[in-house]
Amino acid sequence: MCCSIIGYSSRGDGDGDGAAPILVRGLRRMEYRGYDSVGVATASGERGPGQQADGDIMVRKGTGRVDDVNRSARLDAMPGSVGIGHTRWATHGNVTDANAHPHPSSSGEIAVVHNGIITNFEEIKSELVQDGYAFRSETDSEVISNLLQKNYERTKSVKESMASTVSRLQGEYAFVAMFSGGRLAAARLHKPLIVGVGKNDMFLSSDVLGFIEYTDEAVYVENGNMVIADRDTATFEITDFEGSPAKYSITKVSKEFGDAYKGDYAHFTLKEIFEQHETASRAGGTAVHEIAEAAKIIRDADSVCLTGSGSSYNAALVAKHFFASHAKKSTEAVMSSEMQFSSEGMGPGSVLVAISQSGESADVLSAVRTARKAGCRIISVVNMMTSSLARQSDVTIGMNCGPEIGVAATKSFTSQLVVLYRIISQVAGGRRPDGGSGDNGGGDNGGGGDNGGNGSSNSGITGAVPGLILRTLEDPTGVQKVAKELKDISDIYVLGRGVHYPIATEAALKIKELTYIHAEGIAGGELKHGPLALMDDSTYVIVINPADSTHEEMLTSAREIKARGARIIGISDARSDVYDHWIRIPEAGGEAENAKSPLYAISEIIPIQLLAYYTALERNADPDYPRNLAKSVTVK
């Protein structure tokens, strides 16, 4: 499952809040990773309402958001200085109280929170049931707590029982276990696990947001390692799965990732849309040398593949277009989930450019492992520089857009585009993707050649994008009016040609994520090859139609659609009488018609982000937390 896991251990010397309120605050910060149920377990000698385990481990949990379950179950009032917590996005079993985490073992002496999937859980569960261990849920996670109990009963050692347990588990997982008496242990295999190091306490978490309020010192646990915590000394030991000591280092976490507050905005999604003029100007701006190195690797490569999932894949499709048109470099764009079926041509002369906001997406990490096995070099574009993807890459370029809490990608998508434009400019020898010269050249990189053109550090994309975004966001009232009209529709189609086609697919993704309206991105030239059959007077069609070389052909397509009775929403910098609604975008500038497109690609997605947001409000949907979705998809 995709979820948040957290563990907290304090020396319990009376100078803190206790574990429960700290765990609840951490879960609230990480709720964007999963939010269909929530639970907390603490180690206490007392027994109170809602307790589901014997011994000194208390468990309270339920379905719903963190604040809702906290109000009904009083999670933050649970006693104890040690505890574990979890928010869930279901994969095994329905969304029920019983399937919510934490999961106590049969005896109640161990409780577990888990992220990931145990692929051999049915085999292990069958063995444990035969041995007399009881199960209360439909999840794969419960086998961990019962297997730990079985091994602990045999060894009487936390470390040995952990080592025996992980030797049996197959799949990809991270889990935190709490043993009777308040001892914590954790293990990681292909899922994130981070230790937050405090003065008299420590955290075990899937995300730095779980503890950044309390400490900025962290250990990123390596794959195949375990953590054994000592409650009395607030220290920990990291070992491999056999129990031998493993090397690790404590790093400082950037405090900007703790700055996840809505401020005066009604939702994180709206705040993040309006932050894009700032985040786009920062994207890749501190990675001058990394961008130059990535460009040289790509320029010299026999073949280049771009990969991502969801919005990141759409960014890869945009980049593919401009690698060909501006850098004269042929690339392929492959969905990360399809990489295992598309890797035949990859080898030691190949490069994989992996794009991910979180750097923890299971499909992307799997694609990286496939490419690495083939001998490829890995370049990553990622927001979390300490993520699994960053650590597995030869070159990593940071998006620098800060935490993105809204589940639907907004500012991360535009930041990805800016970083990719910077790389393309360097591959092209310093020519800007919009036809000019010198993106990050001059003051940043020196002269021309491999490392830049003749502009200043604020030229090219970096200089043009923030102002363009600000002009796009100047007056959202027109978008709000269109959103009211879309309130009750069931289908919407988005058309684009050339580079505007992947923007159309991204637009459709935003609409379906936030509004639950069926939305489909369509290549304009494919209209007569099937999609025209869907057009009638109940249909709304968005046409992405800037005044570039695609403009006239798209107007022809719009007229064909309107002749069938459909209503047209035009996203353009040029008015047309074919549009029933015109959402104006600013002119992007540039000499040649087709050279305007890189800037258009950014400006034209922003009003659709707003349209999806306002339509979600009209339909009483929560734009920050769409149903059935999680921000970081850490399972396949």
**According to the model, what pLDDT value does residue 584 have?**
93
- How is residue 94 written in tokens? 């329905």
pLDDT in tens, 481-532: 999 999 999 999 999 999 999 999 999 999 999 999 999 999 998 988 998 8
Tell me the C-alpha distance between 30 and 70, whole Å: 15
pLDDT in tens, 327-359: 999 999 999 999 888 777 788 999 999 999 989
State the virtual CA torsion across 71, 271, 220, 168 in degrees, nearest 10.
60
DSSP letter at 378?
A: E
**According to the model, what pLDDT value does residue 462 have?**
59
DSSP bridge pairs for 398: 382
pLDDT in tens, 549-596: 899 999 999 999 999 999 999 999 999 999 999 999 988 765 334 445
pLDDT band, very low/low/confident/very high, at 456 (cuts 50, 70, 90): very low
pLDDT at 17 over 90: no
Length of the chain equals: 636
pTM: 0.74
Tell me the C-alpha distance between 78 and 60, whole Å: 9
User: Phi first, then psi: what are they for 46, rounded to 5°?
Assistant: -90, 165
DSSP bridge pairs for 184: 178
- How is residue 143 written in tokens? 């086998």
Return the higher-pLDDT residue of 408 and 285: 408
pLDDT band, very low/low/confident/very high, at 223 (cuts 50, 70, 90): very high
CA-CA distances (angstroms) from residue 606 to 474, 492, 589, 600?
Answer: 11, 18, 18, 10
Q: Which residues are catalytic?
A: 3, 631
pLDDT mean over 22-28: 93
**According to the model, what pLDDT value does residue 458 have?**
38
For 628, other C-beta atoms within 10 Å of its C-beta total: 10
Count of H-run helices and E-run strands, the chain: 17, 24
DSSP bridge pairs for 351: 304, 377
Q: Which of 412, 369, 621 is nearest to 506 (CA)?
A: 412
Q: Which of 410, 408, 367, 412 is nearest to 631 (CA)?
A: 408
**According to the model, what pLDDT value does residue 131 have?**
96
Contact 495, 505 (CB under 8 A): no
DSSP letter at 625?
A: S
Tell me the C-alpha distance between 535 and 566, whole Å: 6
pLDDT in tens, 233-278: 888 999 999 999 999 999 887 655 555 666 678 888 999 999 999 9
- How is residue 55 written in tokens? 């011994």
What proportion of the chain, given as a percentage, has pLDDT over 70? 86
**According to the model, what pLDDT value does residue 329 have?**
94
pLDDT in tens, 128-157: 999 999 999 999 999 999 999 999 999 999
Q: Please state the three-class secondary structure of 207-223 as a single string.
A: CHHHCCCCCCEEEECCC
Tell me the C-alpha distance between 84 and 86, whole Å: 7
pLDDT at 14 over 60: no
Tell me the C-alpha distance between 381 and 353, whole Å: 7
User: Phi first, then psi: what are they for 245, rounded to 5°?
Assistant: -55, 140
165 exposed, middle or buried (CB, 10 Å; 0-12, 13-18, 19+)?
A: buried
Cα angle 375, 381, 383 (rounded to 5 degrees) comes to 135
Return the higher-pLDDT residue of 411 and 464: 411
Under 8 Å CB-to-CB from 27, ≥6 apart: which residues?
Answer: 4, 6, 38, 40, 66, 85, 86, 87, 210
**According to the model, what pLDDT value does residue 595 have?**
46
State the virtual CA torsion across 610, 616, 622, 628 in degrees, nearest 10.
-110
**According to the model, what pLDDT value does residue 293 have?**
96
Tell me the C-alpha distance between 287 and 418, whole Å: 12
Return the higher-pLDDT residue of 180 and 261: 180
For each of the domains in the chain, give its residue range(s) and CATH number, in order of start: 2-258 (3.60.20.10), 268-472 (3.40.50.10490), 477-618 (3.40.50.10490)
pLDDT at 455 over 90: no
